[in-house]
A and B are shown apart, each in its own frame.
Chain A
Amino acid sequence: MNENLKKAPFSAQINLSKFNMQDFEKATDEEKRQQEVMGESTTFFKDSMRRLRKNPLAMLSIVILALLLLVIIFAPLVIPYGYADIVKGTANLHPMEYSTSELKQIANGESVFPHLFGTDSLGRDYFIRVVYGARVSLGVGIFASILVLAIGMLYGSISGYLGGKVDLVMMRIVDIIYSLPDMLLIILLAVVLNETLTPLIEGTILAKLGTNMIALFIVFGLLYWVGMARLIRGQILTIKQNEYVLAAQCIGTSTARTIRRHILPNCLSVIIITTALQIPSAIFTESYLSFLGLGVSAPMPSLGSLANDARAGMMTYPERLLFPAFAICLIVLALNLLGDGLRDAFDPKLSK
C-alpha cells in the first residue's frame, strides 16, 4: 500500500493505511454469489396486476363478484326450491315468513327451508328466482361481451393492419351498422325469430331461454361489435407505427403471426378494459328488454323480468322490486369499478 497517499479532507473514503494486507481474506465463491443480486424479471401483465391489487375499490369489486358467483353457482344446489316450483299455499309471503301449512310441518318437527326473500304471487321462492335471474343476466352479459370481443377483434385488427382501401371499405360498413337503431332491430328480430325459431329449438337448453334471448345475441353479434372494432382498429393503427412491426416484416413474419405476436399483445390492456366495461352494458340491455317483456321467456326469470313482474304489487310488496334492482346495481357497479381499476392498472398514465 502506498504510504504517501494522502486522504483528502472531508473525504468519506476509508483510510486504508490503517489496515494490514494480512487482515484481508479472499471472498469465497459462496460469498461472491451472494453479491449477484438480480431483480426478478417482471412482465407488463404482472406489473399491472400488482397495481390492481393496490386499488381497494377494484379489489372490493372482485370480492363482491366472487361472492356473487359463489351464490349463483351453489345456491341452487343448497336450496330445495326450483325457480319454477310452485309450493301450494305459500303465495305472497314476505321475507322469512312461513305459510300456515309450513308452520304445521315445523310444529311436527320437520325442517322447512326458510323463504329468504319471501315468495311471489304464484308461491315460488323469490330468493331462488333472483339467483336464477342473476345467473341469466350475468351469463348473457359475459357471453354477449365475448361475442362482441371476438367479432370486433377480428374485424378491427384486419381493418387496422391492412389499412388502405380495405380499411376504407370495412370502416364504411361499420359506419352503416353504427347508424342502425339497435333497440328497434332487437324488437323486430324478437318478433320474427319467435315464429321461425320456436320449433327449431324445441327441447334444447335454448328453449328455456327463449327466442328473445337468441334475438338479443344475434343483435349483439350484428351490431354491438362495431364499437369494439373501431377501438381495436385505432389501437392497431398506433401500434403499427412502431419499428418492431417493421422489424417483423423485415424478418419475413407472416401477417397473421405479426398480428398475433406483435400487435394484439400490445393492445391487450385496452381489450381487457373494454370487455370488462362491455359486460355491464350488455346486462343493462338484457334487463331493459326483459323489463319490456322482450327478454327471457317465462318461467325462466331474469333480473329485468322480475322487476317488471314486481311492478304490479309494488306498494304491498316493495321488496320484490328492491331485490332484483339491488342485484342489478351490485353487479353493474362492481363490474364498472373493476373495469376502472383495470384501466388504471394497465394504463397508469391515465389515472389522476
Chain B
Amino acid sequence: MSSEYILEVEHLKQYFPVKNGFRTVPLKAVDDISFSIKPGETLGLVGESGCGKTTVGRTLLRLYQPTSGRIVFDGDVLFDSENKIDVKMQPYRKQMQMVFQDPYSSLNPRMTVEDIIGEPLDVHKLYSSKGERHDKIIELMETVGLNAEHATRYAHEFSGGQRQRIGIARALAVDPKFIVCDEPVSALDVSIQAQVVNMFEDLQKQRGLSYLFIAHDLLVVQHISDRIAVMYLGHMMEIAESDELMDNPIHPYTQSLLSAVPIPDPETARKSQRIILEGDVPSPLKMPSGCPFRTRCRYATEQCAREMPPFTDRGNGHMVACWNK
C-alpha cells in the first residue's frame, strides 16, 4: 500500500509520569503535534534543548509507548488511540530506523564493527550464509565511506565522525525507507558535520530515503531539509518550506530563533537586529495556560493566556500556531 505520505502523525501526545513528592504528575514532553512527511522528503525539526524533539523521534519508532494520537506509516496505521490500534512493530523495524545523537554511547564498546552493523541482519535474518553476511557488511561500510579493513575493530578505535558512520551503516543495514536522524551531527566537529550531512543527502538520492532530521543548528537544518518544523515546549509552532521559513518566519518564536543565527558577514550582522527573548523556558511540569510561548512573547495578549492558538495554514502549507501574527 502506498499513499501520498510515508509518515503521518496526528495529534501525537507523549506524557511521562513524574513523581513530584507523593503525587505523580504527567510531564507533557510532546503535546498534540501533527505533521507528515512525503516519500523522499526531509523534514527538519528544530527547537531548543528539552522541547521534545528527541521524544518525537523516539515515539515515532515506538521506543516509547505514545499516550495518544495516531501514527500512519506508508499507509499502515501503526498506532491509533481512538480506534485502539497498536500493531506489533517488529516488521516495521525493517522500514524505519534511527541514527543516534551521541556517537560514543550509541555503539556497544564490546562489539566489533562487523557485529554492530551485522546485528540488524542477524535479527531480521537477512542473509542465507556467513559469507553473504560478511559481503553485505563490507558493502554497507563502503557505502558510508568506511575502510573495509576496519571491520574487525572495536568502536573505541574510531573517531567521532567514523563512529557516526558506523551508526548510519547500522541503520541502513535493513534497507529502511524512513530514518529518524536524532541530532546526528551536533556531537561532531564542524568540518566533519559537513561530510556527514552531505553523506545523508547522497544516501537520500541513491536510496530514496525520507528523513526526520532533528537538530538545533538552524543552518544545518536549512541545508538538508525540504521543510522545517519548529517546536517549543512540546508544541509545534510553525511548519513551512525550508526557504519560506527562513525568509518569512511568522511565529514570534521562529523569528527570535532565526535572529540568533550568526551571520558570517559583519556588515549585514551589524544592521540586523536580534530579538532577545526574556526569561527562561517554563518547566514542562508547570505549563503556562493557553499558548506555551506567551510568557516570553512580546505580542502576548489575554487571548493567548486563555486559549491555545489553532495550528492553521497561512497559504502554501505554511502552518503556524499563533493568535497575533
Q: How far is the CB of B300 from chain A (nearest CB, A)?
A: 38
B123 touches A243 (CB 8 A): no
B170 touches A251 (CB 8 A): yes
B109 touches A247 (CB 8 A): no
A41 touches B63 (CB 8 A): no
Q: Which of B28-36, B74-82, B96-104 contacts A (4 or more CB under 8 A)?
A: B96-104
Q: How far is the CB of A348 from chain B (nearest CB, A)?
A: 14
Once A243-B101, A243-B106 are accepted as A-B contacts, the answer to whether A250 and B63 lie under 8 Å apart by CB is yes
| Alpha-carbon separation in the docked complex, A232 to B107 (Å) | 21
Interface string of B87-124 (1 = CB under 8 A from A): 00110011001101110011111111000000110011
From A243, A248, A250, A262, contact of B102 by CB (8 A): A243
A251 touches B106 (CB 8 A): no
From B63, B102, B152, contact of A249 by CB (8 A): B63
Q: How far is the CB of A43 from chain B (nearest CB, A)?
A: 7
Q: How far is the CB of A156 from chain B (nearest CB, A)?
A: 19
| Chain B residues in 8 Å Cβ range of A250 | 61, 63, 93, 97-98
| Alpha-carbon separation in the docked complex, A268 to B90 (Å) | 29
Q: How far is the CB of B185 from chain A (nearest CB, A)?
A: 15
A244 touches B106 (CB 8 A): yes
A244 touches B108 (CB 8 A): yes
A246 touches B63 (CB 8 A): yes
From A242, A252, A262, A266, contact of B123 by CB (8 A): A252
Q: How far is the CB of A157 from chain B (nearest CB, A)?
A: 15
A252 touches B124 (CB 8 A): yes
Residue among B101, B106, B149 with most chain A CB within 10 A:
B106
| Chain B residues in 8 Å Cβ range of A242 | 105-106
| Alpha-carbon separation in the docked complex, A215 to B58 (Å) | 50
Chain A: interface secondary structure?
Answer: helix
A251 touches B120 (CB 8 A): yes
From B102, B111, B119, contact of A251 by CB (8 A): B119
Once A41-B153, A41-B157, A265-B110 are accepted as A-B contacts, the answer to whether A248 and B119 lie under 8 Å apart by CB is yes
Q: Is B154 an interface residue (CB 8 A)?
A: yes
CB closest chain-A residue, reference B91:
A252
Q: How far is the CB of A270 from chain B (nearest CB, A)?
A: 13
CB closest chain-B residue, reference A249:
B63
B residues 136-173 touching A (CB-CB < 8 Å): 149, 152-154, 157, 167, 170
B105 touches A243 (CB 8 A): yes
Q: Is B174 an interface residue (CB 8 A)?
A: yes
Q: Is A253 an interface residue (CB 8 A)?
A: yes
CB closest chain-B residue, reference A264:
B110
A251 touches B105 (CB 8 A): no
Q: How far is the CB of A248 from chain B (nearest CB, A)?
A: 7
| Alpha-carbon separation in the docked complex, A242 to B155 (Å) | 14
Q: How far is the CB of B176 from chain A (nearest CB, A)?
A: 10
| A-B CB proximity, top 7 nearest | A252-B93, A243-B106, A265-B110, A244-B108, A251-B120, A243-B100, A243-B105
Q: A251-B119, A251-B120, A252-B90 are in contact. List 5 more A-B contacts (CB 8 A).
A: A43-B110, A244-B106, A249-B63, A265-B111, A266-B108
Please name 17 pairs of A and B residues whose Cβ atoms are closer than 8 Å in the assembled complex, sorted by A: A41-B112, A44-B154, A242-B105, A242-B106, A243-B100, A244-B108, A246-B100, A247-B107, A247-B170, A251-B120, A252-B93, A252-B120, A252-B123, A252-B124, A261-B108, A261-B119, A266-B108
Residues on A lying within 8 angstroms of B by beta carbon are 38, 41-44, 242-244, 246-254, 257, 261-262, 265-266, 268
Residues on B lying within 8 angstroms of A by beta carbon are 58, 61, 63, 89-90, 93-94, 97-98, 100-102, 105-112, 119-120, 123-124, 149, 152-154, 157, 167, 170, 174
